[in-house]
Structure 1
């Protein structure tokens, strides 16, 4: 497996946004038209299709800081929104999307995914926020991946932004996470003892699943040798760029801390325990209690531990605000209580279009 390691702690931000009708906020399967209408200058990042035709993926260029990455994403949002007839919302799933209102992108990769997943891919589009952190070498990538793996439930709780599915309250903070758990390889990987161990595991899973390559392993976190990064994939897409900035800053800070930290004396957490905490995080969001340091502890306490490690980036203040005021799932439910589903959709559309102070 070839690797491109060497750009230590450079960042890449990828967000998947849902394409909607600008008037009704209903899903529109017109991502190809949006992408065709965008003009992205060289060096400004990129915009791509993904599995669903009602979704655009925006990717920053390699960035030195979280702010640089989020400013690039904001500029890409602006270019997409400038395409006539385009609305966008950032959420893990469309709150009111009908079951089966799905069109798949007509490209070989997505035909392969559809052939593998069949009805699982016909429910409703799912959208995530991914953060890449550059690694100096392969072994550091494995060590940092193991360290960040411990924080996946916290990140999922903070990013919960899909409480509604198919027009009703799911009872979860992130319905997307549980929809995604239905996919093969859509879970938390084991801790790896070395890069060789990672490669051996990937080879076995690819063979068992008859998958084309390791990018079909949709784990919540994975080393990405082709890009030379560790990729964190556990978080819902966000409407608020301020929240995107806070989450990217937290991942970046925790990655730097993980690179310097030894293997815990107790060893890395068992996959089964992390999966249980992941479900609790997906269910209860910032109000969850999760296993941390041997006991169930509130998300606010775990976040305080994370923030103590993550450095002094001012964007981390957003994490404190989320804990105090509520995350995306809480804002959506507040909007629903105020004005029903229309208020939820208007909230998401307005927040997604609010590019200040980044543009």
Structure 2
């Protein structure tokens, strides 16, 4: 897993930048915490883990370590960041991104969660990717956690998704016939000169040949680790389901999937999504997804974590809580609670203490 969090000033809780200084002060290995293209965004990384609970426990421990150095915001975008106040870090990769994206990358920092699920071979990864395309709108709706944009309610549940969909090579990719079809597509894009390799594909999901995984990239960064572990458990189970299902199920066409994706990012838990050919409320679609996932949860060691999806549906996701807190005490209270929740580590299964989790990450 990889999660991106925004470092903020202890007093104002606004983005503070200074990635290099923060990393030096934290003293954590680059294998565990590194910088991102936007200064002040930190990426937390886990090693290969057996299950969602283990992965999120490690992220919780890393959050606690970083919390000794800087407060953190777990959200798709910082709710109060001002337009254009972005500093991009140097380096060949980031400079290419800057040249090709221009103002798109200079709007506001955006943060997501990337879940890698190991695949035995390229053909299985492509089969799983094709099937997971149909679940992306649901994951976007459940994981939406960025309703505030430049200090105002955007009317959307996930402004991060809107930003990401403005990128080249973004959104839900088409279905691929096989791994060779995927590889040919990557080569065609590489030959155009601004996509040196498949790490420059910003689709909502993609096979990751170098790691041997399917990478699902649809989730906003989360403040609540309980929400995060629920979403990761659901993602893991669905990916294994799609990898294990040889017969390809019929999915909506790419245009319909893009429409459903927009509705999910706009409406979050209030969206209506397609399930078995019928538009249904997100909560119904989510319960169906949990039923599908539950066939794999025990074997994957994430039954308790998967059941937390019910809790997320009952109390609301991050976008709902941000709006509830803002209604109660304004955006300043909302931001304070967002920071507090990001710092709160409550493991679902208390099997790994914070120091042990960081040691395991090493």
The answer as to whether partners of 2:131 and 2:249 remain within 8 angstroms in 1 is no
**In structure 1, what is the equivalent of residue 261 of structure 2?**
278
- Determine if the alignment matches structure 1 residue 317 to structure 2 residue 311: no
Partner SS, residue 139 of structure 1? helix
Deviation per CA, 1:27-81: give whole Å up to 9, x if none: 1112222211223369xx5111111002000011110111111111111111111
Of 79, 88, 100, 1:116 maps to 100
Q: Secondary structure at the match of 1:283?
A: helix
Question: Given the alignment of the two structures, is residue 17 of structure 1 paired with residue 27 of structure 2, yes or no?
Answer: no
Deviation, 1:263, is 3.1
Where do residues 72-83 of structure 1 align in structure 2 (5 Å cutoff)? 72-83=58-69
Structure 1 distance, partners of 2:74, 2:119, is 28
Partner residue, 2:321: 331
Deviations 1:95-114 (A, max 9, x none): 01000110111222111100
The Cα of 1:209 is off from its aligned counterpart by 5.2
State how many pairs are aligned. 342
Partner residue, 1:246: 230
Q: 2:42 aligns with which of 40, 56, 60?
A: 56
Contact 1:94 1:165 in 2 (8 A): yes
- Deviation for aligned residue 1:308: 0.9
Say yes or no: does 1:26 pair with 2:14. Answer: yes
Please tell me the root mean square deviation across aligned C-alpha atoms, in Å: 1.4
Name the residue aligned to 2:338.
348
SS of 1:56's equivalent in the other structure is: strand
Distance 1:138 1:165 in 2: 39
How far apart are the structure 1 equivalents of 2:22 and 2:268?
A: 32
Which residue is 1:107 aligned to?
91
> Which of 295, 301, 317 is the matching residue for 2:284?
301
Task: Give the Å deviation of 1:298.
Answer: 0.8
Indicate conservation of the 8 Å contact 2:56/2:229, yes or no. Answer: yes
- 1:176 and 1:24 map into 2 onto residues whose CA distance is 22
In the alignment, the residues of structure 2 paired with residue 21 and residue 95 of structure 1 have an alpha-carbon distance, to the nearest angstrom, of: 14
Aligned with 1:70 (options 41, 56, 61): 56
Q: Secondary structure at the match of 2:203?
A: coil
Structure 1: distance between partners of 2:236 and 2:249? 24
Counterpart for residue 216 of structure 2: 232
Using the size of structure 2 for normalisation, the TM-score is 0.92
- Match for residue 10 of structure 1? none
Tell me, which stretches of 5 or more residues in structure 1 are unaligned?
Answer: 1-12
Distance in 2 separating the partners of 1:51 and 1:171: 27
Matched, 1:259 2:266: no
Q: Are the counterparts in 2 of residues 39 and 79 from structure 1 also a CA contact under 8 Å?
A: no
Separation of aligned partners in 2, 1:248 and 1:241: 10
**Once structures 1 and 2 are overlaid, which stretch shifts more, 285-294 or 162-171?**
285-294
1:96 counterpart residue number: 80
Counterparts in 2 of 1:352 and 1:326: CA distance versus 1, 3 Å: same
SS of the aligned residue for 2:114 comes to: strand
Partner secondary structure for residue 150 of structure 1: helix
In 1: Cα distance, 2:328 partner to 2:249 partner:
49
From the superposition, tell whether residues 265 and 254 of structure 1 become closer, same or farther in structure 2 (CA, over 3 Å).
closer
For 1:355 and 1:319, locate their aligned partners in 2 and report how far apart those are by CA, in whole Å.
18
- For structure 1, which segment, 225-234 or 313-322, has the greater mean C-alpha deviation from structure 2 after superposition? 313-322
Deviation per CA, 1:284-306: give whole Å up to 9, x if none.
Answer: 00110012221211111111111
Question: How far apart are 1:136 and its partner, in Å?
Answer: 0.6
- Aligned residue for 2:108, secondary structure, equals coil
Q: For 1:155-209, what per-residue CA distance to the aligned partner results, in whole angstroms no more than 9, with x for missing partners? A: 0000000000000000000011001111111211001110001011111122235
Residue in 2 that maps onto 1:164: 148
With structure 1 as the length reference, what TM-score do the two structures score?
0.92
Residues 100 and 194 in structure 2, CA contact (< 8 A), matched pair in contact too: no
1:179 alignment partner in structure 2: 163
Stretches (4+) displaced over 4 A: none
